[in-house]
Chains A and B, each alone.
Chain A
Amino acid sequence: MSSDSRSPLFMPTIVLGGALFGFGLAHSGMARPEIVLDFLQLQDLGLVFVMGGAAAVTGTVIALATRYLDRAPLTNERYGKREKTFDRSVLIGGVVFGVGWGISGLCPGSAYASLGVGNFPILIGLAGMFLGAYAQGYWRSYRESTSGTATPSD
């Protein structure tokens, strides 16, 4: 999608969707690391309803749109599903992310929302996420340039 094929309503739609997302994350408790850790320590399973509720709404919309609609009005892109290719890094990445989530109670979206509620210590977590993302990008680019084999890209 090139930016010149975007409708003027593109950014306002991102703002509206992002704000709803952030409001929902804050309301759901995901933006409180303590509640996330309670879930991961199996003391309050409520977060099942957060991910379940969000996936149910989104899943219904994706199923209907891919079946009955053709192209999105603001980008002229076809409606599709999110389907990434499966390889070993999907599992390795899942393990690394899981350990990090279990240690901190933070995932990226909840960290953005948590910052919004004034939870300023989360800046430490966000700095860590940028560091981690930078480190893996540095390492993968280095490995590609030295071995000549392409790292699986998402």
Chain B
Amino acid sequence: MFGEMELLTVLGGTAFAGLFPRGISQYAIGGILIGLGVSTIYLGTAITPGASTFFESTLSYVSRIPRFNRAKYLVSRDWRIVFTLSMVAGAAVYALTLGGGGWTTDVQAWRLLVGGVLVGVGTRLGKGCTSGHGINGIASLSGTSFANVATFMLTAIGAALSMQALGVSP
């Protein structure tokens, strides 16, 4: 005899597995590690590090355009390069330890290029990305960041579903 509670548990479990076909542990552990990385820098330096300012601050080395040569980029461009290279290195350590030697993507090159250009424009225009707004901004309970994250999340879901509907894969 199947009790009501047991039925609900099974139904709930099935729905949960449907929403999370790969489980949740690697996602939650990864998220906590990301948070610990950001927190390490914040506790040491009071900096809330975002990933996308790196583009503009690094362009200041090669371009005289005033936008890239603002004081706040000139004082942060050195550590932003170190920060970015450290992220590359941390991911390489993962690939060589738990990550089975790494992987490459099958997503088509034009998607990476076109998407990349829009990411470059959009994150700079919108004052941040998934780490600046999505982690530091949300963690600061910033209204600006909530607005930006809601906007890019909904737009990205719309764009990805549109690509899928158009039969673009991968």
Interface residues, chain A, CB within 8 Å of chain B? 1-3, 9-11, 13-35, 37, 40-59, 61-62, 65, 71-75, 77-86, 89-122, 124-138, 140-141, 144-145, 153-154
Contacts and interface: CB of A to CB of B under 8 A. Distances in A.
B37 to A, nearest CB: 3
14 contacts: A18-B87, A21-B38, A23-B91, A26-B90, A40-B160, A50-B31, A51-B130, A55-B139, A100-B122, A124-B113, A124-B116, A128-B119, A133-B121, A141-B65
Nearest to A123: B112
Contacts, number: 542
B134 to A, nearest CB: 5
Contacts of B39: 17, 57-58, 61
A-side binding surface: helix, strand, loop or mixed? helix
Interface residues of B, number: 125
Contact of A75 (B47, B49, B118): B47
Contacts of A112: 51, 84, 87-88, 91
Contacts of B33: 20-21, 23-24, 27-28
A125 B78 CA distance: 23
B167 interface: no
A44 B90 contact: no
A24 B67 CA distance: 32
Contact of A22 (B49, B90, B122): B90
A46 B29 CA distance: 11
